[in-house]
Amino acid sequence: MHTKTIAQLAKGLQAGDYSSVELTQSYLERIKQHQNLNSFISITEEQALTTAKQADQALAQGNAPLLTGVSIAHKDIFCTQGVKTSCGSKMLDNFIAPYNATVVEKFNAAGVVTLGKLNMDEFAMGSSNETSFYGSVLNPWATDTVPGGSSGGSAAAVAAHLAPGATGTDTGGSIRQPAALCGITGLKPTYGRVSRYGMIAYASSLDQGGPMTQTAEDAALMLQIMAGFDPKDSTSVEREVPDYSSDLNNSLAGLKIGLPKEFFDAALNSEMAATIEAAINEYKKMGAEIIEVSMPNLKLAIPAYYVIAPAECSANLSRMDGVHFGHRCTNPADLNDLYIRSRGEGFGTEVKRRILVGTYALSEGYYDAYYIKAQKIRRLISDDFNKALTEVDVIMGPVTPTPAFGLGEKISDPIEMYLADIYTIAINLAGLPAMSIPAGFIDNKPVGLQIIGNYFAEAKLLNVAHQYQQVTDWHQQTPKGFE
């Protein structure tokens, strides 16, 4: 049962092959069995079984929504009413959210069961899941390597079949990079496609929630529920949500694929380049046309991102001050002491680093040189993509420079860690949708192919990804010990 996709499970549930309670129980057992992966922060067993029972009743009555009774898990960045929502931080270890994020609300309304809350880098800041207050998550493909981050718990859980799908969020690659390193499918939608309400903000102008699944078909099913305008989020876009499943089987003959030459320069190692090339060849076989494009400003993406994201997070995290909720130090001497010790104790090193960087970048006298300049670069990068996307339908390239790296390998070198996101960050700056799909292995470690599309072209991306998954079986591989 646990190796099935969401689409298969939904069918089985609707057909009555098994009940939602049975399905939920089997996942809960697997989660407990594989706790060594550390992919879950909270397991919401009782609630899950209650919802599963309700789902079974709904299914019995007929006319239940498509995904009724299917179970998933949420990244611990989404607020879940009555359940701890820690964001991977000691700061919110005691925070029981009093409300549901819009995304959570939508899954609940669709009859989907929540198994628990998934581990993540603290406040979504990290590319290895090692910054979590709850400890590292292990990559099921090689437990001495990282699952990627920040949605590392989501990726590891789906790869290990502890849940058929999970929510993730992506600010600079946090869905796509762990999806690539764990060999699953991840979709970061267009900025504004999925409501951010109740999704704890890291960098508000870049954050976007999306699905993490085994297949593109499943990603379409989950996105169908997640997407849509939310009056509670001013940055969500009022635009019709298409049927994401209806275009999956469209032919790719004549598809124009752009390959940015900057993605394939000397920095990309040869094994990685070969894997991506092989994937591109599959598309050629399906009738796609390959066009070289150029993004001259791509190299500025990381520096621009590491001004904008920290600047926004420095303000976003100010509310974690020990006054109204979250961690508060014991016996504060005065107000300043309360602030300093609560925040000093509550935040981890990487979070502090980014708050400091952001605070500096916004300071009087530096604002123009850093923040304004970074915004200008952001516009140039968007222009590069927009120009390329007038010539091609999608852009492809690697997701990461290497497969999963070792636990502890980069954690003490932040710059090295930041470079792990070199192929993903620019897409967030431009606000475009992008996917990572499994495209092969290097030394038994999964490698992802990145597909980038035009604004609101999620259906196209899913179609392109799904067609690849019809002719390859990388996405069907299961790590040893998790069959």
Shortest CB 80 distance to other proteins, Å = 10
With a CB cutoff of 8 Å and minimum separation 6, the contacts of 46 are none
Helix, strand, coil in percent for the chain, rounding step 5: 45, 15, 40
Q: Which residue has the tokens 């010539």?
A: 391
Distance, in Å, from the CA atom of 448 to the CA atom of 187, rounded to the nearest integer, reads 12
Comparison of 202 and 283: residue with beta carbon closer to other proteins: 202
Comparison of 233 and 247: residue with beta carbon closer to other proteins: 233
Comparison of 195 and 213: residue with beta carbon closer to other proteins: 195
Shortest CB 282 distance to other proteins, Å = 39
Q: Which element (helix H / strand E) includes 199? A: none
Residue 75 bears catalytic tag = yes
Distance, in Å, from the CA atom of 458 to the CA atom of 435, rounded to the nearest integer, reads 9
Q: Using the CB atoms, write b or e for 80-95: b if 16+ within 10 Å.
A: bbebbbbbbbbbbbeb
> Could you give the 3-state DSSP secondary structure of residue 142?
strand
* Choice among 19, 75, 86, 188 that is catalytic: 75
Residue 150 bears catalytic tag = yes
Shortest CB 326 distance to other proteins, Å = 8
* Choice among 132, 154, 174, 342 that is catalytic: 174
Shortest CB 406 distance to other proteins, Å = 32
Distance, in Å, from the CA atom of 74 to the CA atom of 151, rounded to the nearest integer, reads 10
CA dist 414 → 198, 310, 351, 403, 431 (Å)? 29, 14, 12, 18, 24
Comparison of 291 and 362: residue with beta carbon closer to other proteins: 362
Amino acid identity for residue 190 in this structure: T
Comparison of 32 and 232: residue with beta carbon closer to other proteins: 232
Contact positions vs other proteins (CB under 8 A): 78-79, 85, 87, 92, 95, 97-99, 101, 196-201, 203-205, 231-235, 311-312, 314-315, 317-321, 323-325, 335, 339, 359, 362-364, 367, 371
Shortest CB 360 distance to other proteins, Å = 10
Shortest CB 232 distance to other proteins, Å = 6
Distance, in Å, from the CA atom of 203 to the CA atom of 109, rounded to the nearest integer, reads 28
Comparison of 78 and 141: residue with beta carbon closer to other proteins: 78
Distance, in Å, from the CA atom of 329 to the CA atom of 346, rounded to the nearest integer, reads 9
Shortest CB 219 distance to other proteins, Å = 23
With a CB cutoff of 8 Å and minimum separation 6, the contacts of 434 are 176, 187, 188, 424, 427, 450, 451, 452, 453, 461
Q: Using the CB atoms, write b or e for 20-55: b if 16+ within 10 Å.
A: bbebbbebbebbeebeebbbbbbbbeebbbebbbbb
CA 66 to chain CA centroid, Å, is: 23
Axis-axis angle for helices 6-15, 45-61 (nearest 10): 60
With a CB cutoff of 8 Å and minimum separation 6, the contacts of 345 are 90, 327, 329
* Choice among 128, 150, 154, 245 that is catalytic: 150
CA dist 205 → 58, 309, 380, 465 (Å)? 39, 8, 16, 26
Q: What is the CB neighbour count within 10 angstroms for residue 417? A: 21
Comparison of 209 and 479: residue with beta carbon closer to other proteins: 209
Shortest CB 306 distance to other proteins, Å = 15
Residue 311: phi, psi to the nearest 5?
A: -60, -50
Any idea which residues carry the catalytic annotation?
75, 150, 174
